[in-house]
Amino acid sequence: EQVEETYIMVKPDGVQRGLVGEIISRFEKKGFRLTGLKLFQCPKELAEEHYKDLKTKSFFPKLINYITSGPVVCMAWEGVGAVASARKLIGSTNPLQAEPGTIRGDLAVQTGRNVVHGSDSPENGKREIALWFKEGELCQWTAVQAPWLRE
């Protein structure tokens, strides 16, 4: 049982479609702790660094265009097993294959418009939070519900 940090981001389509509250709500209700939150217009260089592992893919230029096409909502969430759990809440990359009940399964129809990002490993969680947030933008706090979430 490892406390992990994960970087979650509402992509520009999620912001444009008015899904910010809905998406935040799913992580809140699950019981993770929010440690960072901001609306942000992502510069091209940051998008390229974030998705650097996909640089050789044919869809890379379109992906960068999409992510920089409007503001995103950047979030840092923390919790036991938070990385894998958040990926489950988000669902498969292709929203048509994502299970109902997941964010992508419920709210999206195409891979190129899949409304939300979540880190794929604890290492990438740390890397991405450091990439998208400055130190003073993150908050550590004690949630009053903590003893009601874990015994």
Q: Under the rule (CB under 6 A), what is the footprint of ligand DAT?
A: 54, 59, 63, 93, 111-112, 114, 117, 120
Q: What is the DSSP letter of 70?
A: S
Catalytic residue (choose from 32, 36, 117, 129): 117
Q: What is the DSSP letter of 58?
A: T
Q: What is the DSSP letter of 121?
A: S
65 is in an annotated binding site: no
145 binds, among ligand DAT, Mg ion, none (CB under 5 to 8 A by kind): none
Catalytic residue flag (residue 117): yes
- Rounded CA separation 122/114 (Å): 22
Q: Quick count: other Cβ atoms within 10 Å of Cβ 87? A: 17
Tokens of 5: 């940090």
- Rounded CA separation 90/57 (Å): 22
Given the complex with Mg ion, which of 123 and 139 has the nearer CB atom? 123
State the minimum distance, in angstroms, from the CB of residue 58 to Mg ion. 17
- Annotated catalytic residues are 117
Q: Could you list the residues that contact Mg ion (CB under 5 A)?
A: 120
Q: Which residues are annotated as a binding site for ATP?
A: 11, 59, 87, 93, 104, 114
